[in-house]
Structure 1
Amino acid sequence: MNRREFVRTAGGVAGGTAALSASGAAAAQEGGNESGGGGGGGTPDFGGFLDGVGNFDGSVTDATGQDSATVEVGVQANGGAYGFGPPAIHVDNGATVQWEWTGEGGGHNVVSDGDGPLDSDTYSESGVHYEQTFEEDGIYPYVCEPHQSLGMKGAVVVGTDYATAGGDGEGSVETLAPEEAGVPIQPHFVGIATGLAIIVSLIFTFFTLKYGESPHTSGGND
């Protein structure tokens, strides 16, 4: 192999490595825009359902990482013992929520607002009378039917795929690290490409100074 072929080969390797690094970066960026998993991200969008609920201040109680969580039924809110406490709670997919009646405010129940899995009987005595295990991500709004008009409402946020305020309503977005997106860590490729580029530049300089010509000058030995 003559010097011109050697330089051409080295330059091709450097260019190919740089292109691979760029494609890896693009793949990581594309992978990082996938929606789904891992801890959720963003404020749940309740669509105004909890507006006017006396004990809802916009915050959601975080009960993720727990197998079960408890919501009290008949806490002080909305002018009496007509609230769920907390009114909004976030649990993992597969977690169980238990509703514990305080025994205050008369008879209460827990019923999904619209379609949904929640449908308890009405109880007035204290104790845990109802529970539900959630196995699908989303937001589950519910009411106490006897006191719905007073603002006795609540919501359970489940998992990571749920509508977020200011989002597109399709769930939270997680940014993945390059290795999690299935591509190599790019700094390795960038370093290799940079090193090869420096070597090629040195070769050009060496041949130019020693032979008085650029390796790409026509007329050299093939």
Structure 2
Amino acid sequence: MTRETTRRGFVTGLVGAGAAGAASATAAAQQTGTDGGGTATGGGTATGDGGGTATGDGTADGGGGTAGGGTAAGDGTAAGGGGGQPDFGDWFEDVGNYTGEVVDLRDDSDPEVQVGTEANGGAFGFGPPAVHVENGATLTWTWTGEGCPHNVVEQEEVFDSGEPGCEGVGPFEYTFEEDGIYRYVCDPHEQLGMKGAVVVGTDYPTVDTGGGGDGPGIPQVPDAARTLGVATGVAMAATLGLTYLFIKYGGDYGEFEEA
């Protein structure tokens, strides 16, 4: 047996040992990803084989989501926080002049909504139907004199302009003192889709987009997969490095004659 044969056998054994080490590291990583992870329960408690328990109420309170006549968020919505698309639910489903836009009047010193704009088959609309104002702002509804009689009645009766009327009615004003979403109608023409909404301040229910944006969120790699990848990479790098060193700088193992 020659020196080259001996070295080749040694390297072969080394590579085999490295492969076994990589397999062991992979199995250990998989075990780590399963044994220590535990089970997350609905109450916010995580339990695992490690014996440690993390407890919590599992509830995020966005500030109540209710402002006077405001609306609390239901399924598929994020309560409070603001800054996102307001959650109107199906409020504007039958409103002909609602395009999905919420007109921002927060920088307007005299925010105003027209009563009796062209919509829903006649002068049966609020214009614009959805607006956003600051907390403390006074919003004015002004009658156009078309499609009468009209009035402005908040869904929870937070504000009410009174009996329906025409040119002699209004303008009607209301000062908002609590954040939230306020939905209102014209009583005589509600069935035609004469509806509106006012978003106030920053603490109001928003649509849950699942990623904080219009598209899907950034994919997350599970901890077990990361551990598995790191362990496998380290084992392979160690094996290749040792192989290179022994091939290039391996010592003299002597020469043996074949039997």
Structure with bigger gyration radius: 2
Q: Distance in 2 between the 1:96 and 1:85 partners?
A: 16
Q: Distance in 1 between the 2:127 and 2:104 partners?
A: 13
Q: Distance in 2 between the 1:140 and 1:50 partners?
A: 13
TM-score scaled by length of structure 1: 0.56
Q: Which residue of 2 aligns with 1:195?
A: none
Q: Which residue of 1 aligns with 2:160?
A: 119
| C-alpha RMSD of the superposition | 2.4
Q: Which residue of 2 aligns with 1:99?
A: 141
Query: Which residue type is aligned with residue 123 of structure 2?
Result: A
Q: Extract unaligned runs of 5+ from structure 2.
A: 1-59, 64-80, 213-259
Verify the 8 A CA contact 1:70 1:99 in the aligned structure 2: yes
Give the Å deviation of 1:52: 1.6
- Which 4+ residue blocks in structure 1 deviate beyond 2 angstroms? 33-36, 65-68, 126-129
Q: Distance in 2 between the 1:159 and 1:138 partners?
A: 7
Q: Which residue of 1 aligns with 2:203?
A: 161
Residues paired across the two proteins, number: 134
Verify the 8 A CA contact 1:74 1:105 in the aligned structure 2: yes
Q: Distance in 2 between the 1:42 and 1:107 partners?
A: 35
Q: Distance in 1 between the 2:135 and 2:93 partners?
A: 25
Q: How does 1:10-49 map to 2 (within 5 A)?
A: 40-49=82-91
Q: Which residue of 2 aligns with 1:12?
A: none
TM-score scaled by length of structure 2: 0.48
Of 53, 57, 64, which residue of structure 1 is paired with 2:106? 64
Verify the 8 A CA contact 2:138 2:173 in the aligned structure 1: yes
Q: Distance in 2 between the 1:117 and 1:100 partners?
A: 18
Deviations 1:21-58 (A, max 9, x none): xxxxxxxxxxxx9967xx94100000111112010000
Q: Distance in 1 between the 2:168 and 2:107 partners?
A: 27
Q: Distance in 1 between the 2:110 and 2:82 partners?
A: 18
Q: Distance in 2 between the 1:123 and 1:35 partners?
A: 39
Q: Which residue of 1 aligns with 2:248?
A: none
Q: SS at 1:149's partner residue?
A: helix
Q: SS at 1:68's partner residue?
A: coil
Q: Which residue of 2 aligns with 1:79?
A: 121
Q: Extract unaligned runs of 5+ from structure 1.
A: 1-32, 173-222
Give the Å deviation of 1:128: 4.0
Q: Which residue of 1 aligns with 2:151?
A: 109
Q: Distance in 1 between the 2:95 and 2:122 partners?
A: 12
Q: Distance in 1 between the 2:140 and 2:109 partners?
A: 11
Q: Sequence identity, in percent?
A: 57
Q: Distance in 1 between the 2:191 and 2:135 partners?
A: 30
